[in-house]
Amino acid sequence: MEYRSHIVAAVIFILVFGGGAVGFFLWLSTGGNAHRTIVIETTQSAGGVSAQSPVKFKGLKVGHIESVGFDPHDANKVRIVFKVRDSVPLTQSSYGQLATQGLTGMSTLTLHTPNPSAPALSGNPPHMPLHKGLLGRLKSRGQADLKKVTQILDQVQNLTGGKNAKHISQTLAQLNQATRQLTEAEKSLQPTLAQLPKLTQQLRHTVDSVDQLTHKAIPAIQKAGKAAKSARNVGQSSQDVMRNLNNQVLPHIDALTRQMQDTARQIQKLGAELSSKPQSVLTGPPARRPGPGEPGFHAAGGQ
């Protein structure tokens, strides 16, 4: 009996000690902090993650995945249940991403909180979305780019097929002909291009000559400016002389002209009288006939 009692005591001691050791190990592995359970439901692939896969926040391990499997309510979704420390600041803006670790193919669940001031993550248990990681984004972008490339190839095939192939052949032939013409034009331009340095030198000499002529012409231009100023003074004096002629001399000339016209008329009248009565030079001019009302006036009928 005593032997059996010692065996039972030893077994109990081993069980208690082993349970305490396991509990102490779990306590050390969790850092002695309280944990909370969070659920992620996603339609993305969860390849590379499994139970006990690490959960990280800002590069530090803050928990582990408890289970990965299909959602019992929707077989198209994957349900990831993990635990994190209560001290991790998770808000309603927080989300998870799967990051592949090197060449092992294993993935780590990385948590992100873009807006720490958002309301705290709540729910029982709280749910969090899963965003695509780098490989997921590359895969989506690659699929979109592959679709665009396929569309471009289809469009190119449509452009190069049928009637367009004939037009493309004609265009290529015209381009070939234009290339030959450009080559011939280049050959014909080579002599001209060879003369360009000489022409450039001649142009430089011409510019220097023009510069020298310009410097020499500056004194002549200054003298011409002075001469123009003198000419303006002479023109002003001429205007003054013309103004005096108009105001003083021309009126006298006009009066003298009228007097000469009157004298000429009198001389003409005198010449007419001498022609008709030359004796008037000796006897004098004939007496003027009396007019009406004057003594000696007789009407035409009474004569």
Q: The tokens of 200 are what?
A: 């450039």
- Parallel, antiparallel, or unpaired for β 74-85 and 60-71? antiparallel
Q: How many angstroms separate the CA atoms of 11 and 85, rounded?
A: 35
Span 190-205, average pLDDT: 76
By residue count, the chain amounts to 303
Give the residue from 109, 135, 132 showing the smallest Cα distance to 39. Answer: 109
Q: How many angstroms separate the CA atoms of 245 and 249, rounded?
A: 5
Q: What is the pTM of this model?
A: 0.40
**DSSP per residue, 193-222:** HHHHHHHHHHHHHHHHHHHHHHHHHHHHHH
Residue boundaries of the structural domains of the chain: 1-32, 34-133
Tens of pLDDT, residues 24-36: 666 655 555 678 8
At 292, the pLDDT band (50, 70, 90 cuts) reads confident
Q: How many angstroms separate the CA atoms of 219 and 70, rounded?
A: 104
Give the residue from 72, 73, 74, 80 showing the smallest Cα distance to 45. Answer: 80
- Predicted pLDDT of residue 287: 62
Residue 298: CB atoms within 10 A of its CB come to: 9
The SS3 call for residue 252 is helix
Burial 79-112 (b: 16+ CB within 10 A, else e): bbbbbbbeebebeeebbbbbebeeeeeebbbbbe
How far is residue 202 CA from its own chain's centroid? 42
- Predicted pLDDT of residue 95: 93
Give the residue from 59, 68, 60, 51 showing the smallest Cα distance to 130. Answer: 68
Rounded to the nearest 5 degrees, what angle is found at the Cα of 281, between the Cα atoms of 279 and 284?
Answer: 90
Q: How many angstroms separate the CA atoms of 272 and 278, rounded?
A: 10
At 128, the pLDDT band (50, 70, 90 cuts) reads very high
Tens of pLDDT, residues 259-270: 777 776 767 666
